[in-house]
Structure 1
């Protein structure tokens, strides 16, 4: 009865939640290397413990081990054809190639553009689902509930002698969730931007691909604090034409 009564007091609940989160982090942080080496089933047990917190916590990406992709597509004449192939994906066939069968026109344009950038090393098609090998960005929706978004791509480039990762997410500014997801990307950049070279949202405006690099303070602050729509930001001077 005492425990039930204490649980009704907001300040006590918040303190218990805070202490529990800090305790788990103290336990897990020193073992990050060992945890990443565990089998998938065992590793998931620890991720479920981490997920019990009331607020999202930073997790560790698992190394991707398998991926199902179609090497055939239906062409404009409704005929079965070979999917276009491209190299440097982190998961490839025995010839080092990856089929772009699951990518739409915008996504293919982004991949081709990134391949032409100086120092291009590799890329990863981020799975659009909650998984150990998927990069997820959490945010609160308009009702205040936690949601997750999964940026389409992570690209790797050599910059100044170091390997730098960049998040690039082509997402239509006309979609209902465009505004809130752009802000979610900016909030992620505010917290973790130092870990990435670029964190870009990309959309096509008036037949031109435009990019907002939320890793840049000027872009990030505008998205976070100016009351404008996504299309307004893409048309503003803080956006740039997206080219490789």
Structure 2
């Protein structure tokens, strides 16, 4: 058996509520996160993730949490010392992207990690970011099993494994149309 809970001598700041208009609303919480709300507090043992801006992220998170091989997950912050940051080229600048989530799975006798980035494929920076993630995975193949990007096509959640052969190179200069073609030819129902 592999441990899925560790005692962290650090904190991971995140909001458990948000203000919408003049009302305060709780942020939804989910299981199996590395950091959790401490015992004695409301929703203890869970971790808040504000998915209100992306139904795509909610769908992916709920499906990943239902996997029987899932040991734990980490909601990657958008910056800071707790974040996995992957460099990518944005024009003539080197920028950092922060994939949404890391999921640890049991795979036979091994523990493997999946990187998940459920963002809009039609944004100008999607292809360079996903290309960088694919290269990151190639460089860390001993630690990362795969990287999945997602989109919704005709109401169906589709995934594209960015570690598939040749995808990193195609992503390097991909347009929105090429991304559509890659999801159509290499994507799968999730």
Query: Which TM-score applies when normalising by structure 1?
Result: 0.63
CA contact (8 A) 1:193 1:215 kept: no
Q: 2 CA distance for matches of 1:192 and 1:66?
A: 27
Q: Where does the alignment leave 5 or more consecutive residues of structure 2 unmatched? A: 1-7
Matches within 5 A, 1:202-217: 202-217=150-165
Q: Which has the higher contact order (CA 8 A, sep 6+)?
A: 2
Match in the other structure for 1:237? 185
Matches within 5 A, 1:94-105: 94=39, 95-101=44-50, 104-105=54-55
Structure 1 residues 64, 223: closer, same or farther in 2, change over 3 A? farther
Match in the other structure for 2:109? 161
Tell whether 2:70 aligns with 1:120: yes
Match in the other structure for 1:184? 132
| Larger of the two Rg values belongs to structure | 1
The number of residue pairs the alignment matches comes to 176
Match in the other structure for 2:12? 67
Match in the other structure for 1:133? 82
Matches within 5 A, 1:35-74: 65-73=10-18
Q: 2 CA distance for matches of 1:106 and 1:74?
A: 22
1:149-192, Cα deviation, whole Å (9 max, x unpaired): 11010011111122111100011012121222222222223322
CA RMSD of aligned residues (A): 2.6
Query: Which TM-score applies when normalising by structure 2?
Result: 0.79
